[in-house]
Amino acid sequence: MTKPTITYGHAFLDDCTAATLASWTETESGLVASMAVSNDDYFVITGTCDNAADEYAYYERHIVPDISSTISPKLLVRWKTSAAANGLQAKISVIYTAGPPTETTLGFSTSWTTTVIDLTTATNIDKIRLYADDNPNSIDAGTFYVYFDFILICQGIFTWPFVSGGVELEGFNNNQYLKIPSKVGNATQYLGGDDSTIRVYGNIDSTGLDVAGVPVINSGWHGRWTTHDAEAFYQILHYAFSDPWEWFTSDVASLKVTVDNMRISQAKTDENLLSYELNLHEYRLGSANVETSLERFGIT
């Protein structure tokens, strides 16, 4: 089983909606391109190749104020392309106030793909560029598309260190059944379908390991049981009050979520064994209604 993860401490988020489209400035190099928003849910870069030279276009957003890459060293981008190969591929570039940029060729994928990029630390993030770039460079005809669902810079990605536990996904029928109004008792009306929910639960052995891999006995909740600071678990809940959503991944589903509640308890029979439960709610814009459930959950 792949351990589930969730982002926390968002320093920058562009959810690729109509509200942020005007923040991106176009630069063309041979490629005739345009960028629009589809269903107020993701960017669509349309590019037409018309010569055999290297053709690309990029869209740049200036981040104000600059973001410390030491505090926020992770970038996540969710993307896909209309071509599986031999068309326009996706690229992303992070420009710093000092030092060379972090340039990542994402490549081709006709299914939504989330890529995690480690940023150069000890500097400040100044700009982000989204590219549509022809590959191979000999393509001289055809219209292709590159899609971006979100660009996220965050403090870290928390991984659940299971001793035991699991992940549950619960979906709901969108066809709601209206009860007959009555003067006796409650007149309940179900006027809309709920989004899906995720439950993550299990046990953690808080004995943990130190930096050298030696067991730390009776270290409590703050034991080094992951490569992250143990307090990141608390930060997930703390940041949920300010972040519109956090990106969750697991074998069951990968989607944007908001944190509903979290529960932590200590076992009476083993002081080193802690139990936890985190309930998440699918985050979804009401206008974004064209993606199938498979696309939304990242399991295509």
Fold of 5-157: Jelly Rolls (2.60.120)
Single-letter amino acid code for the residue at 58: Y
pLDDT in tens, 85-107: 999 999 999 999 999 999 999 99
pLDDT of residue 247: 94
Residue of higher predicted confidence among 95 and 258 = 95
Using the CB atoms, write b or e for 188-198: b if 16+ within 10 Å.
eeeeeeebbbb
Which residues 6+ apart lie within 8 Å of 146 measured at CB?
44, 45, 47, 79, 80, 81, 82, 88, 89, 90, 130, 131, 132
pTM of the model: 0.84
Query: Residue 241: its pLDDT value, please?
Result: 77
Task: Give the residue extent of every domain in the chain.
Answer: 5-157, 159-296
Q: Does the pLDDT at position 213 exceed 50?
A: yes
Q: How confident is the model at residue 298 (pLDDT cuts 50, 70, 90)?
A: low
Whether 81 has a pLDDT exceeding 90, the answer reads: yes
38 by Cβ neighbours in 10 Å (0-12 / 13-18 / 19+) ranks as middle
